[in-house]
A and B are shown apart, each in its own frame.
Chain A
Amino acid sequence: MKIEILGTGCAKCKTLYENTKKALEESGKTGEVVKVEDIPTIMRYGVMSTPALVIDGQVKFSGKVASVGEIMGML
């Protein structure tokens, strides 16, 4: 599973990154979490408000920080 956190490096993006790593760990699933900070990639997903969460190329949400529990439900 490939999980991408889209965001240009704001405080919220970091929180989402941490929450996602924790969610992955607790769910026991395997995958990698990567931060995507370059604008062209963010725009290719059509995301206009950051941070956003992308799992296997699919945008799950944008413009908010989700809790660990909420992210676990999406994995």
Chain B
Amino acid sequence: MLKSLADYIVFTLMGLTPGTHLGEALNFFIYDTIKIFFLLTVIIFVVAVIRSSFPPEKTKRILSHKRLYVGNVLAALLGIVTPFCSCSAVPLFIGFVESGVPLGVTFSFLVSSPMVNEVALIMLWGLFGWRIALIYIATGLLVAIVAGIVIGRLKMEKYVQDYVWEMQVGNGEIPVMSFRQKLDYAREYTTGLLKKIWPYVVVGVGIGGFIHGYAPQDFLVRYAGRDNPFAVPLAVLIGVPLYSNAAGVIPIVHALMEKGLPIGTTLAFMMAVTALSLPEAIILKNVLKNRLLAVFFGTVAGAIIIVGYLFNAIL
């Protein structure tokens, strides 16, 4: 139905010919924009209602004193439903470790929460289909679990800033929201998020549409195809500074995949965009000493690169 609407606008109302560069690029742009904004509005609202039942104060109580492995799996899963904003990373981190959540478990949460987020999932589902979206969730959780276990095993507690351990944390009696308040929260959250990301979506889909209509088929195969062993690490390196623009990056990546970017490289790139970011590193420097910060970035980047190679090899 959306497809025929986009066809109608471009080929009938605007009188462009199907099959031409401009016609195809514009058709792609209009179709994707309508679809994505529809999905974003509906799903962000639903996710926000669910999230209002999982404040971090509650997640912390669930994870407190959980052991390695079980704790890491739980933390990665809770990372999906607990709202997270990198601006509250510091109180969140202190609240977790102070209440006895093991360091490795805390990191599983810190990796999964931004990476397996609703915006990335909607964009993936809308553009790539549910299969890729599911693969992204599953491998994202796996990266978070493995990275957390590795960091937990390395026993790096002494590389947390010393003041964190001396902090006095209140017991966190946060009033529970009524259903009415949850809906208000969800509405506010949805409009706030849409206001923030819509320009990135439009620009991203625009560039994606341009690539779709104008770039020659398979033009990427030569540079970033399966045969280039450096493509995956390079994709991760490029992805790190692009944080918070997942909404804009995914449509571009989608078009690139059509032109021959392999699936593993694509996944690795998107994970690097969402999971690792320089602003987050700067914020986390308040609670982590340099060595732990480097181990955190290194472990996550390493796990993402392995995911990239793995999917390039098997799919």
Contacts and interface: CB of A to CB of B under 8 A. Distances in A.
B16 interface: no
Interface in A31-74: 39-40, 42-50, 59-65, 67, 70
Contacts, number: 89
Contact of A43 (B60, B85, B167): B167
A21 interface: no
B280 interface: no
Given A48-B88, A64-B189, A65-B188, A43 B95 contact: yes
Q: How many residues of B sit at the interface, in one of the four size bands?
A: 20 to 34
A43 B94 contact: yes
B180 to A, nearest CB: 10
B188 A46 contact: no
Contact of B169 (A12, A44, A49, A61): A44
Given A62-B174, A64-B188, A65-B188, A42 B56 contact: no
Chain A interface SS verdict (over half):
loop
Given A43-B167, A64-B188, A65-B192, A48 B172 contact: yes
B92 interface: yes
B184 A46 contact: no
Contacts of B96: 48
Nearest to A74: B175
Contacts of B168: 40, 43-44
A8 to B, nearest CB: 7
13 contacts: A7-B87, A8-B88, A42-B91, A43-B167, A43-B168, A48-B55, A48-B172, A49-B55, A49-B85, A49-B88, A62-B57, A63-B55, A63-B56
Interface of A: 7-8, 10, 12, 39-40, 42-50, 59-65, 67, 70
